[in-house]
Amino acid sequence: MGFDEVRERCGVVALYQPESSGDRLDRLAYYGLLALQHRGQDSAGIVVALDGRLFRHRGTGLVQDVFDESALNAAHATAAVGHVRYATAGGTGESNIQPLLGSTRAGHRFALAHNGNLLAVDDADDLAGRRHVDRTGEADADTPVLVRALSDQDGDTLAAMLAVLPRVSGAFSLAVATPDGLLAARDPNGFRPLCLGRLPGGGWITASETTALDAVGAAFLREVEPGELLSIGPHGVLSHRFASPAPSTCIFEYVYFARPDSMLNGRRVQQVRQAMGAALAHDAPAAADVVVPTPDTARPAALGYAAASGIPYAEALIRNTYVGRSFIMPADGERRHAVDLKLNAIPETVEGRRVVLIDDSVVRANTARAVVTKLRRAGAAEVHLRVASSPLRWPCFFGVDISTKHDLAARARSVPEVGQLIGADSIGYLSLEAMKRAIGGGRTCDGCFTGTYPLPLPLPLTTTATAGR
């Protein structure tokens, strides 16, 4: 995919420890968010529970931009919840920066962080197509609607979540801090990941990916199950079932979003991506001299392709890590400089050689076209693009920013036509069947590849996709 990124909704982390523990939960939450930075770079926030109260610090930008020493000063916090965000629903204003604060009618306060995308709470079809507009005129995100639904409930936060979550449709992995503990929940389909770990000092952590557990020295215990709500506090960890599970993990987590060192459904993502690359070598072989990855997420697939094909692997594209996703875009007449600033080719690796360029996915094809052009300028004799996933032809409604089918290069084009659009000598994709074999089986959500989704879509969306299996 290179820099033609599809953006994932968010990352969440939450921690609880007994008061006797000496660990600094605000700092551990900070470390956890750093490990989840790839899941969201628009904003970040942390809420800590201290002396029966909730304190919040949040802001726009990267985690290291939002927090400094003065913001991390809750030495005796018993609970913390953190969030990094991409704005796939709602605006990027401060009102939508999570965690969000709420209170039940009985006065039980909570801080909620959400990864996913809600379709409806009861019959609130505005979540699907007609967003609220707040006082600033900015479109409201879906998460505040969930917070309002919880705030309308009597009793404590656990009772509120048990009452509301069965009425919610869509993708949600939730991390919630209360003054005396944590709550964590995952939608019945388990679209987005959520895991549980044990802190060295005796506390608990839940996070979007196991890399956040590694960052704080926690031991991985298990994944939060689809349709499960955990309550964590002085009583330990209690499990509550609010819906029957119908697992449909997002297949794009394996393709692109999750860090390669994360574990998903018992498989290391790095190994899955290498298996996809090896399968791609069988599905779409190429006569070539060198296998080159598009940095950074395509490296495991390229290693797998090289090993299975016998074609040598080499790095020929170097990424400028100091040019972030929010850098100032060149003017309309200088769009190619966007890629020139972020990627540079090594001519000695490709000059006069037939190159197999490996990417994890192709979305709009703008960047793929620019990268192929860059390799040709560096002297490549041929450029054969191989994609370690199937053609993206449909939008996503469950937390991935694939918002419209009209932006997708493969939507109305055949595979050879996509290759012509990009300017490659040839193009090949991995079959969906091979993708699923690499993952290890099990039911997945692959609606962005097939147009068939695990959940019925509200009426505003049914004109763009089919629903159900």
Residues 6+ apart with CB under 8 A from 241: 227, 228, 229
Distance CA 11, CA 36 (A): 6
- Determine whether 448 is an active site residue: no
**Residue 142 confidence (pLDDT):** 85
Taking alpha carbons only, the member of 320, 410, 327 closest to residue 368 is: 410
Q: pLDDT tens digit string along 216-229?
A: 999 999 999 999 99
Residue 133: band (very low, low, confident or very high) from pLDDT cuts 50, 70, 90: very low
Mean of the per-residue pLDDT values for the chain?
A: 88
Please give the distance of CA 231 from its chain centroid, rounded to a whole number: 24
Average pLDDT over every residue of 22-41: 93
Residue 22: band (very low, low, confident or very high) from pLDDT cuts 50, 70, 90: low
C-alpha distances in Å from residue 338, one per residue of 92, 281, 327, 330, 371: 23, 30, 9, 7, 11
Average pLDDT over every residue of 67-79: 85
Dihedral sign from CA coordinates of 276, 279, 284, 288: positive
Tell me: pLDDT of 461 over 90: no
**Residue 122 confidence (pLDDT):** 81
Residue 12 β-bridge partners? 83
Tokens 């990124």 found at: 5
Q: Are 44 and 84 in contact (CB under 8 A)?
A: yes
**Residue 132 confidence (pLDDT):** 38
**Residue 86 confidence (pLDDT):** 81
Distance CA 242, CA 407 (A): 37
Q: pLDDT tens digit string along 279-305?
A: 999 999 999 999 999 998 899 999 999
Tell me: pLDDT of 20 over 70: no
Q: pLDDT tens digit string along 159-179?
A: 999 999 999 999 999 999 999
If one counts every other C-beta atom within 10 angstroms of the C-beta of residue 251, the result is 20
What pTM was estimated for this model as a whole?
Answer: 0.90
Q: pLDDT tens digit string along 346-381?
A: 999 999 999 999 999 999 898 899 999 999 999 999
Q: pLDDT tens digit string along 398-455?
A: 988 776 666 899 999 999 999 999 999 999 999 999 999 999 988 899 999 999 999 9
**Residue 459 confidence (pLDDT):** 59
Average pLDDT over every residue of 232-260: 96
Tell me: pLDDT of 127 over 80: no
Residues 6+ apart with CB under 8 A from 197: 204, 205, 206, 207, 210, 213, 218, 219, 220, 221
**Residue 469 confidence (pLDDT):** 30
Q: Which of 10, 195, 445, 448 is catalytic?
A: 10
Longest CA span, the chain: 72
**Residue 367 confidence (pLDDT):** 87
Tell me: pLDDT of 145 over 90: yes
**Residue 23 confidence (pLDDT):** 74
What does the CA dihedral 325, 331, 337, 338 come to, rounded to 10 degrees? 20
Q: Are 443 and 113 in contact (CB under 8 A)?
A: no
Average pLDDT over every residue of 321-346: 64
- Percentage of the residues of the chain whose pLDDT score is greater than 90: 73
Q: pLDDT tens digit string along 334-343?
A: 555 667 788 8
